[in-house]
Structure 1
Amino acid sequence: MADITDIKSIVYTEKSLGLQEEGYIVVQTSDKVTKNQLKTILKEYFGVNPVKINSLRMKGKTKRFRGIEGKRDNYKKFYVKLPEGANIESLAV
């Protein structure tokens, strides 16, 4: 079962801040989290019932550091549409 610790971060980019004005937040999680699990996390911990959730599976990039090749972790990125007037204060910029 997913927990709040599965949320890695909230994404703050130029695109995500523009979407925030339309009522969306962008959440980066571990690659095991599903839409239903994220929905229950948002209900339990933040008291918000999302209207819509879209997800992307992001593959980790392969990088070199001092000649040693490594790989970043895979993760999921969720676009969460919040109900009108709903706000998560701890996530707002």
Structure 2
Amino acid sequence: MADITDIKSIMYTEKSLTLQENGVLVVQTSPKISKHQLKEVFKEYFNITPLRINSLNQEGKVKKFRGVKGQKASFKKFYVKLPEGKNIESLAI
């Protein structure tokens, strides 16, 4: 069972802000959560039933840190379509 702690953050980028104007939230989560579990989290904690949820596995980039190769952490990204007129007050900009 997933809960609110599986949501790492809401992404605020130029693309995600334009999507947010159209009622789509971009959520970064842990890789273990599924679409159905995320839908239950939104129902339970925010009292909103998402219309559609799309997922994307984002692999960590390989970077150099002081000449030593390393890899950033992988994460899962969800695009959550909210019903018309609904938003999450605590996340409003």
Q: TM-score, normalised by structure 1?
A: 0.94
- 1-side partners of 2:61 and 2:21: how far apart? 30
- 2-side partners of 1:44 and 1:63: how far apart? 38
The structure where helix makes up a greater share of residues is 2
Point out where structure 1 has 5 or more consecutive residues left out of the alignment: none
Q: TM-score, normalised by structure 2?
A: 0.94
- 2-side partners of 1:35 and 1:89: how far apart? 22
Q: CA deviation at 1:78?
A: 0.5
Which SS does the other structure have where 2:90 is aligned? coil
Amino acid of the structure 1 residue aligned with 2:87? N
Deviations 1:30-81 (A, max 9, x none): 1111000100011111111000001111001111211222211111110000
Find the counterpart in structure 1 of residue 26 from structure 2.
26
Tell me how large the CA RMSD over aligned residues is: 0.9
Find the counterpart in structure 1 of residue 6 from structure 2.
6
Point out where structure 2 has 5 or more consecutive residues left out of the alignment: none
- Could you list the runs of 4 or more consecutive aligned residues of structure 1 that deviate by over 2 angstroms after TM superposition? none
- 2-side partners of 1:7 and 1:58: how far apart? 15
Paired-residue identity, %: 67
Answering whether residue 90 of structure 2 is matched by residue 87 of structure 1, we say no
Q: CA deviation at 1:86?
A: 0.7
Amino acid of the structure 1 residue aligned with 2:35? K
